[in-house]
Structure 1
Amino acid sequence: MEVGAHQTVVTVEMAENNEVVVSESQMQIESKSSSTGLRREGFKRLDSLDKEANNLSGLSVSKALSIMGVLKLAFQSIGVVYGDIGTSPLYVFESTFAEARSPPTREHIVGALSLIIYSLTLFPLIKYIFIVLWANDNGDGGTFAMYSLICRYCRVSATTNEQAEDITAYKEGHKKRMNGRAKRIKEAIEGSGFAKLLLLCIALFGTCMVIGDGILTPCISVLSAVEGVKKMDASISQEAVVTLSVAILVVLFSVQRLGSDKVGYTFAPAILVWYSFITVIGVYNILHHDFTVLKAFNPLCILQYFTSASSNPKQAWISLGGIVLCMTGTEAMFADLGHFSVRSIQIAFAGLVYPCLICAYVGQAAYLSHRPDHIGDAFYKSTPDSVYWPMFVVAVLASIIASQAMISATFAIIKQSMALGCFPRVRIVHTSRSHEGQVYIPEINFLLMLACVMVTASFKDTANIGNAYGIAVVAVMLVTTALLTLIMLMVWQTSLILVALFVAIFGSLELIYFSSVLYKFDKGGYLPLSFAAALFLVMYVWYYVQTKRYAYEFEHKLSAEQMTTNPGLTRVPGIGLLYTELTHGVPSIFSHFLTNLPAMHSVVVLVSVKYLPINKVPVSERFLFRRVGPKACNMYRCIARYGYRDRRVGNQEFERFLMDHLKAFIRTEGWEKADIDGQVSERNEVEVSIGELAIDHVVPKTQCGNTQSTEGGEDNCEERSNEIIREEDAEEEIRFLERSRESGVVYLLGHSEVRASKESGLVKKMVVDYVYDFLRRNSRQGLVALQIPHKNLLQVGMNYYI
């Protein structure tokens, strides 16, 4: 048989900003055959990849954990998540009264304690533990997880993975009927380009502030702990304290490569000792100094703090910038959720962290009520001399561990951003086989370490760092409140009364806190906003150019006829995998291949690897296939769908997985044609979901050939003959596919550069030609991300003018 009659073209499209991710366990294809064979009526013929792409099952089902498994994760979370909020007692009272010209009165201390108690109760406990944690993206938390959840209920994303003509218009919300209010909100957002851009900018800003939080947390935690050494030896200079803090920070970032799993087990015992120490010392101070400070549990003390004759309302308002530091690390509970689970985070905080923190703050207030002049170093001054050195050592360890919470959260959020096309490519290292959310990013780890060292060495004082820290903490809370409100209205479809209460209580209080921390903008508060602005620029420029580049490719795509009707085109043995972002048509880069080398492999697969705004795609629903052009051309399109938490594998595993599913598609296509014979004319593009098909086909039993004929027996025999012919054609095509694979697999990649068009303005030319070009050149290239061997690679350069 002639080669031209059995040429197969497989198109593989892959987003340039993403990596191929397939776990080793995903290489197994489920088989559902039985002794009675496969029932053909179990297969449905679909007319659009968009329809099929919108139907993914099992995404709302989270992995069940045993009680011991939950407790195990809860133990690990103590070392990874709760170090930050646990070390807040080191500096909260000092920061609260840093602007005071004289020592605070007992009434002021009790009022500040009441504010601390109810801030911890309202925000970390009620808002995050009982509400925000449930707004996760199938187990993943953080700003982008909330944004991706909104994207699945409402087409709002404008990234290359969410174009209107793309197959990634994936929605989980189709399983839940929307009420009238949710539909109106959805339609209003989808019809407004400004609303879409605003939501994306909010998500990007929240992400940037969390990363800024991850920079400031190690600085203030380590520096505040090391400063305690000056209690025993006042002659130690601040320069020596800063030098020791920098050395500790370098060691901290050096151990990040071990991963959250090992770091959690290593740090959790130390944090347990820390919480035990602050609880015991807190109870001791309450009993030994002044137990009457317990009246701070009465919320009226807060009112008295602002309105009493001895209080200065403006000074009380300014002090909120210090009070808010008692909630540092709260966002880590949500951002680090992908490393653990909702129940484990809830158990650890409600059962251990919250009561221990309350004891610590009440104990410090009891001590300060008698010695208000010690407000500048309340934590170490309230520690009895007999346990000072053990407490100092544990405090230093705890401050190191506190940094781990936001560092882990930063890694998780960067990975989500990159997978959704909003961050340049970086290397993602999965550090745990059992928990896929635990990742390490070497490049980001180094940049975080560099930033922390520079901030610590330049500021040299916890007061100024605390001013910056407060802005980062409250800004992230405001972003979370805004996104959660939209989720409550459109996704959860919560009662309007409850939504109004949520916004009135948490939104208004957070705005009050935010106004207070902004007051200290010129005293260090500008730092997190500067970090956020730089990161926002990087993320938005990457998103903008990637979107424009995708639009250019879509406008200049080729048709299948333009490829197959070329009279001078030669077909050579082998399989060519052409990677492109397009899911419709043939990318224009392919014409450059044919111009430079007028030959096409006998089998061509257009492969598009798309990351959906979800954390994981079921293995059985990973690939979508359809035929491109007439069957005689044997060209195929493959769309591989991945979530942002799916693992990456090498090219050999991906190649084997793709070929197995392609064979299954060819067999299934024959069964589909048997079902629709005489009803629907054959089309050039046939789409079949392979999530439920078996690779080893079992021929169904028929009545053809029985000695006792029945009515319609001739039709059955004719149908059986047609089935045999189709199955033979399918098997012959599969054999040709296998022979082509034996001849070799070549990966076809375009090496493209993006440039601003001549009519573009100066700002656009600066952004595209210089900023984006710098980011692209200093990020990981697609060749490395795909793990493609050089000997199997064929690249052609092309310029895009946007």
Structure 2
Amino acid sequence: MISFYQPYRSHHQLKAGISYSYPPMETLLLAYQSLGVVYGDLGTSPVNVFSATQLTNLSEDDLIGTLSLIFWALTILVLIKYTFIVIHADDHGEGGTFALYSQLCQHINIRSKLAIQSCMKGEPDDGPVYYGGSGGQLRAKAKKFIENSPGAQNFLTFIVLLGTCMVIGDGTLTPATCVISALQGIQSVSPKITQDHVVFMSAVLLIVLFAFQHCGTNKVSFAFSPIMLLWFATNTSIGIYNIIKYHPSILRAISPHYMVKFFIRNHKTAWDLLGAVFLGITGAEAMFADLGHFNKRAIQLGFCFVVYPSLVITYAGETAYLVRYPEKITNAYYSSIPKAVYWPMFGISTLAAIVASQSMISACFSIVKQSLSLECFPRVKIVHTSSKHEGQVYCPEINYTLMVLCVGLVIGFKGGVELANAYGVVVIWVMIITTFLTALVMLLIWNTNILLILGFFLPYILIEGFFMTSLLRKIPQGGWVPFAISVILFAVMISWTYGSSKKKEYEAERKMALTELDEMLSVSYMYRTPGTCFFFTDLVNGIPPIVRHYIQHTGSIQEIMVIVTVRTVPIKTVPPEERFSVQKLGVKGAYRCLVQFGYKDSQNVGGEECVSSMIARLQEAAESSGEKQKISSATQRGVIFVVGRTILKANGQNGRFSRFTINYLYRFLQKNCRGAISTAEFPLDKTLQVGMLYEI
């Protein structure tokens, strides 16, 4: 019996690169590459933070308190939380909110109608489970509560989809904001350069960047890594120069009591400043989402030994300069650069801003790829750009959609304060969602001590909640933009998730049994057409109802009928001897075949080589020589490929939400997106598409 729930496993996995354990030299190389992609957003933060404070006449104590805020935000929220805790909550090398949700669903029986179906366990685990101690009892109660509460399951799905949409929404703002903020520095040296010129240059740079994405993360990171290394090196050098020249004792700001004194002294002003400080840590969520492009050790090495110390020294250097010249705070970064190196640093900062854009673009590709794997996003084309790393992907539809949105935001807002206010607003919500899901992973999967879980969850919820209250005031002043984009994406994802769930539910309830298929094929008026029919379906188990629909309305079926399911597994390539799994259905001339491809395999299912291999495996599964001869004879008489196309319709018994979602949103998406087996290649002259209406 073929189990369609079991993940692909073989001794070829290690050779194919599914293992995420790398030798030291390759890890260092990946760390070097990750500087060019993963840390772009974090790395260009010095351009934005002090300029975004919009505060003037700050005293020395105020500036030291601000630096203390930035230092501890970087240390607590990025270094400790993401680099050493959250990064370990990956799902087979993939990061992001979907990875956290996928892990939970592998250990919990999620059965709600809105559940992401691909994460669901194949069979419920009804066996007794012992959880020792008081902590074990809490885990057992939490697991039981979630499994028995559709509301809790729907809430999990809701926040995961919302968090994912927010990351993509912020991904449209990061390229627009980073590029235009970097180019605006040129206006300080030439009054002839207007804001319209800056907007035009930003739009051109963004178009070039998005056009470059098809080359793949591997090549992009190799091109950008030297830029980021130069960026970190030059910023660190200038930071050290400013510290020594203007205020050598500025590093005392690492003491948290300066941060506390700043809040006591400034109250609401300090609270307002949190929104600007948060700009210094946006990109942490992209670092986790980009995990599939590299590996944990590489990201940890790159951040701990290059990014983190560089950012701390750069911020300290800017603060030291502002202690001497506080009136320069509105253009802190460019003002603190020595005039002799101003133009080289302008060029480097512009290129670094482009890299910052790349970090969010690649994160969006990773998120969409995960969404497709979990069947909660309309099908789009995914191109794997690396033969070594399964997570390095490119999505042309998403790429050009992001390009249009980014260029539109640059032209629409013209680099005004609204665009700056919108930048990073939704990221805090993603961080809060990540904290919540990570705590659940720690409780239900890692079996972490309850005190450690509380030590993680409570402080981070409080800190991030405090940042969130400051960032909320930016929503009316431009922060609504990423929320609007997120709402649109959420409507798309929740519609597709709900529609896919209802479709699978319909097929599971109405799938054919072998006895029913046997009866239909045994009636006297059933005509067995000469030839072989490959009937393609994405139903993981059982015979789909569309087969019944096809037989009933044609009154015939080919001599040999093979129900084929095509699946892409997370390795580079599947060896030919392991690509096909064939099962005889027990009905005369009926078989089932599972075809597995690696992400770099050509999925030419209709090609002569693939068809010949499937026929050979069918003959191996045949029980007699006569049956083998019949398969060979039927193939010589002709082969056709039947592809099912289902249409959902919600009847009047459903509620308004269900009718609107299914009849309008889901059907519109289904009509305009790629088919379930769109990556497969079929000869057009031998392909038949069969439609069926699913009335739910």
Instruction: Give the Å deviation of 1:142.
Output: 1.4
Structure 2 CA distance for partners of 1:527 and 1:562, relative to 1, 3 Å:
farther
For residues 114-133 of structure 1, the C-alpha deviation after alignment (integer angstroms, 9 at most, x for no partner) is 01111111122111111111
Whether 1:746 aligns to 2:643 is no
Q: Which residue of 1 aligns with 2:162?
A: 205
Which residues of 2 match residues 79-478 of structure 1 at below 5 A?
Answer: 79-95=36-52, 97-98=53-54, 100=55, 102-156=56-110, 168=122, 180-308=137-265, 311=266, 313-461=267-415, 463-478=417-432
**Greater RCO between the two (CA within 8 Å, min separation 6)?**
1
Q: How far apart, in 2, do the equivalents of 1:188 and 1:56 lie? A: 33
Structure 1 counterpart of 2:31, one-letter code: A
Which residues of 2 match residues 314-713 of structure 1 at below 5 A?
Answer: 314-461=268-415, 463-558=417-512, 559-609=516-566, 625-630=582-587, 633-639=588-594, 649-651=603-605, 652=607, 655=611, 658-659=614-615, 662=618, 666=621
Structure 2 counterpart of 1:288, one-letter code: K
For residues 497-547 of structure 1, the C-alpha deviation after alignment (integer angstroms, 9 at most, x for no partner) is 110000122121111111110122111111111111110000000111121
SS in 2 for 1:356: helix
Kept in 2, the 8 Å contact 1:120–1:327? The answer is yes
Instruction: Give the Å deviation of 1:585.
Output: 4.2
Structure 2 CA distance for partners of 1:307 and 1:501, relative to 1, 3 Å:
same
Structure 2 CA distance for partners of 1:302 and 1:390, relative to 1, 3 Å:
same
SS in 2 for 1:336: helix
Q: Which residue of 2 aligns with 1:675?
A: none
Instruction: Give the Å deviation of 1:233.
Output: 1.0
Q: How far apart, in 1, do the equivalents of 2:684 and 2:113 lie? A: 30
Instruction: Give the Å deviation of 1:210.
Output: 1.0
Kept in 2, the 8 Å contact 1:103–1:375? The answer is no
Q: CA RMSD in A?
A: 3.1
Q: Which residue of 1 aligns with 2:665?
A: 771
Structure 2 CA distance for partners of 1:63 and 1:268, relative to 1, 3 Å:
same
SS in 1 for 2:375: coil
Question: TM-score with structure 2 length normalisation?
Answer: 0.91
- Greater CA drift, 214-223 or 179-188: 179-188
How many pairs were matched up? 682
For residues 159-193 of structure 1, the C-alpha deviation after alignment (integer angstroms, 9 at most, x for no partner) is 8997699984599x999999554443322212211
For residues 716-742 of structure 1, the C-alpha deviation after alignment (integer angstroms, 9 at most, x for no partner) is xxxxxxxxxxxxx45554454344334
Instruction: Give the Å deviation of 1:339.
Output: 0.9
Question: TM-score with structure 1 length normalisation?
Answer: 0.79
Q: Which residue of 2 aligns with 1:678?
A: none
Instruction: State the identity as a percent.
Output: 38
Q: How far apart, in 2, do the equivalents of 1:159 and 1:482 lie? A: 22
SS in 1 for 2:592: strand
- Greater CA drift, 65-74 or 346-355: 65-74
- Greater CA drift, 123-132 or 736-745: 736-745
SS in 2 for 1:233: coil
SS in 1 for 2:423: helix
Q: Which runs of 5+ in 1 are unaligned?
A: 1-45, 668-728
Structure 2 CA distance for partners of 1:655 and 1:325, relative to 1, 3 Å:
farther
- Greater CA drift, 383-392 or 601-610: 601-610
Structure 2 CA distance for partners of 1:117 and 1:615, relative to 1, 3 Å:
farther
Kept in 2, the 8 Å contact 1:54–1:170? The answer is no
SS in 2 for 1:125: helix
Structure 1 counterpart of 2:592, one-letter code: R
For residues 133-180 of structure 1, the C-alpha deviation after alignment (integer angstroms, 9 at most, x for no partner) is 111111111111111111111122658997699984599x99999955
Instruction: Give the Å deviation of 1:405.
Output: 0.6
Q: How far apart, in 2, do the equivalents of 1:84 and 1:513 lie? A: 19
SS in 2 for 1:604: strand
Q: How far apart, in 2, do the equivalents of 1:261 and 1:579 lie? A: 34
Q: How far apart, in 1, do the equivalents of 2:412 and 2:128 lie? A: 52
Structure 2 counterpart of 1:540, one-letter code: I
Kept in 2, the 8 Å contact 1:79–1:267? The answer is yes
Structure 2 CA distance for partners of 1:346 and 1:439, relative to 1, 3 Å:
same
Q: How far apart, in 2, do the equivalents of 1:542 and 1:560 lie? A: 31
SS in 2 for 1:524: helix
SS in 1 for 2:67: helix
Higher CA-based Rg: 1
Q: How far apart, in 2, do the equivalents of 1:251 and 1:583 lie? A: 42
- Greater CA drift, 759-768 or 409-418: 759-768
Kept in 1, the 8 Å contact 2:116–2:501? The answer is no
Instruction: Give the Å deviation of 1:648.
Output: 6.0
More helix by share: 2
